[in-house]
Amino acid sequence: MMNDMTWIVVADEGRARVFQAPGLTLDLEEVDDFVNVAHSATTLTEKQAVEFSASERKEKERDKFATQVAAYLEKARLHQRFWRLRLIAEPKFLGMVLSGLSTQTRELVFEKLSKDYSALSTKEIQEHLRQG
């Protein structure tokens, strides 16, 4: 196996962090960190903002961010940057990201954890994963 890289994605609706580790080790190295800008500031036009309630707006922004995370993972898979995926996200967001992935990428997901670790340090994330 030339590239035996595992990507670990730790996300919630406000932030997604991507780590890589060789094989099945937990030597996490942060590859990327992106924030849902809409989470803190709305990107909808005034007109749209009036049409949607706050919860609908939040839902739309979360959808958009989940789609963005999924698209990022698709692109990375095409560039063969990882061989397997571990997805760790709060339950609803996890489902949204998964539904945005192609069958090929979904087949590389070997672990799904419905947990929100997005605010933890790399070391804390490693500890949680180690405890299984």
Q: pLDDT tens across 54-89, in order?
A: 788 888 899 999 999 999 999 999 999 999 999 999
pLDDT in the model for residue 59: 87
pLDDT in the model for residue 132: 73
- Residue 49 DSSP label: H
The SS3 call for residue 89 is strand
pLDDT in the model for residue 58: 85
Produce one character per residue of 30-43: b if its CB has 16 or more CB atoms within 10 Å, e if not: ebeeeebebeeebe
Q: Is the Cβ–Cβ distance between 82 and 8 less than 8 Å?
A: no
Query: What residue ranges define each of the domains in the chain, with the CATH number in brackets?
Result: 5-131 (3.30.420.60)
pLDDT in the model for residue 121: 94
pTM of the predicted structure, to 2 decimals: 0.86
Instruction: Look at residue 37 and tell me whether its pLDDT is greater than 50.
Output: yes
